[in-house]
Amino acid sequence: MPESPAAPLTRLNLALQGGGSHGALTWGVLDALLEDGQWHFDGVSGTSAGAMNAVALAHGFAQAAHAHKDPHEAHLAGCQQARETLTRLWEGVGTLGSLMWGSPLSAANPMLGMMSQWLSPYQTNPLDINPLRRLLEREVDFDLLCSARRALSAVGGPKVFVCATNVRTGRGEIFSGPKLSADAVMASACLPLLFKAVEIDGQHYWDGGYSGNPALHPLIYQTETSDILLVQINPIEHLELPHSGPEIMERMNEVTFNASLLAEMRAIEFVRRLLAEGKLDPRRYKSVRMHRIDGGAVLAPFGADSKARADLPFVRKLFALGRTAGQEWLQAHRQGVGVRPTIKIAENA
């Protein structure tokens, strides 16, 4: 459990990208922040694996808010219980992955990838089997999460925003508050060539990465905090030209899944510049301070195929890399939060 904070908690929003099993790196980053214990997470926006991390984090604080009346005690307990929930979730992912890794099913993965070019999941997976749903529902109590949402802020826990893409409109939809559910998280992680679209209230949804990976706007408009830490696991730049079919497809996916994020980051920089020039009313517009942990460079040596690899040793390795990245960010940039941005958006967007 983290040490008792000597000073008031520093408020921070989190923006968590998706990227398959590479989301385990974000687990490590969050573990480092929670162990540090000095942060009040006002809001957390997540997509796909980032959405799983977001609800697991908030679930830990919801448990603490339910069990502890004293806000300070609840915050300390929330940090620890969030770490435990994240650990159980990702260890569960690793256990599921280990059962398949090295089995005939894993050997069939290339064939399944080829089949997806001609067959849809309505043919290859008619029962819509996804073992992650059962794991998620076992580890995250969504009823508790929704009922405790008003108490979360008092104990340093976040509002949660999960992005999924409406198949009919092509627009991103944010699920939060009473709309937050296992269905919403599974919709956010629904790759359309592998799983049937997830139906929620008569609408159908695919992976949120197509419309917001992650969405920043709910953190801007629905929280009071001006600082956003982006945990990015899809690289913006790719130095080598892709040549093979899989390499080209992966780079196309990286570009697509970063496009909406880059657009929002450019808008943030534009507003900051106009505010600095006195051309916008600061009472109506927020000057957002962006911070980033760039996991793309850390993950590059593993290759794109590793996003589908989820055996336990690999998941734990990504966790360790994420913890190191989180600790390095804390050491280098802690003092910048609440004061100034620690990345130059114009150079990254």
Model pLDDT, residue 147:
84
CB atoms < 10 A from the CB of 281, how many? 8
Dihedral over alpha carbons 110, 116, 122, 123 (to 10 degrees): -70
What tokens were used for 203?
């609408």
Q: Dihedral sign, CA of 233, 237, 238, 241?
A: positive
Quick: pLDDT tens for 200-253: 999 999 999 999 999 999 999 999 999 999 999 987 777 788 888 777 877 887
Closest CA to 231 of 26, 36, 94, 83: 26
Which tokens in the block code for residue 33?
């922040």
Terminal Cα distance for the chain, rounded: 37
pLDDT of residue 214: 96
Confidence (pLDDT) at 25? 97
Q: Identify the pLDDT of residue 128.
A: 64
- Give the span between the Cα atoms of 34 and 135, in whole angstroms: 22
How would you class 18 by CB atoms within 10 Å of its CB: exposed for 0-12, middle for 13-18, buried for 19 or more? buried
How far is residue 291's CA from residue 273's CA, in Å, rounded to a whole number? 17
CB contact set of 1 (below 8 Å; sequence gap of 6+) = 37, 76, 77, 79, 80
How big is the CA angle at 166 (ends 22 and 204), to the nearest 5 degrees?
A: 100
CA atoms within 13 Å, Cβ hemisphere of 246: 8
Burial of 4 (0-12, 13-18, 19+ CB in 10 A): exposed
pLDDT tens sequence for the chain (349 residues): 444 444 689 999 999 999 889 999 999 999 999 999 999 999 999 999 999 999 999 999 999 998 888 988 999 999 999 999 999 999 999 998 865 443 333 333 444 444 455 555 665 556 566 889 999 999 999 999 988 777 777 777 799 999 999 999 999 999 999 999 999 999 999 988 888 999 999 999 999 999 999 999 999 999 999 999 999 998 777 778 888 877 787 788 788 888 889 999 999 999 999 999 999 999 899 999 999 999 988 888 887 778 888 899 999 999 999 999 999 999 999 999 999 999 987 655 5
pLDDT on residue 230: 97
**Three-state secondary structure of the chain:** CCCCCCCCCEEEEEEECCCHHHHHHHHHHHHHHHHHCCEEEEEEEECCHHHHHHHHHHHHHHHHHHHCCCHHHHHHHHHHHHHHHHHHHHHHHHHHHHHHCCCHHHHCHHHHHHHCCCCCHHHHCCCCCCHHHHHHHHHCCHHHHHHCHHHHHHHCCCEEEEEEEECCCCCEEEECHHHCCHHHHHHHCCCCCCCCCEEECCEEEECHHHCCCCCCHHHHHCCCCCEEEEEECCCCCCCCCCCCHHHHHHHHHHHHHHHHHHHHHHHHHHHHHHHHCCCCCCCCCCCCEEEEEEHHHHHHHHCHHHHHCCCHHHHHHHHHHHHHHHHHHHHHHHHHCCCCCCCCHHHHC
- pLDDT at res. 327: 98
Q: How far is CA 38 from the centre of its chain?
A: 20
Place of tokens 């060539």: 193
Q: What is the pLDDT of residue 249?
A: 78
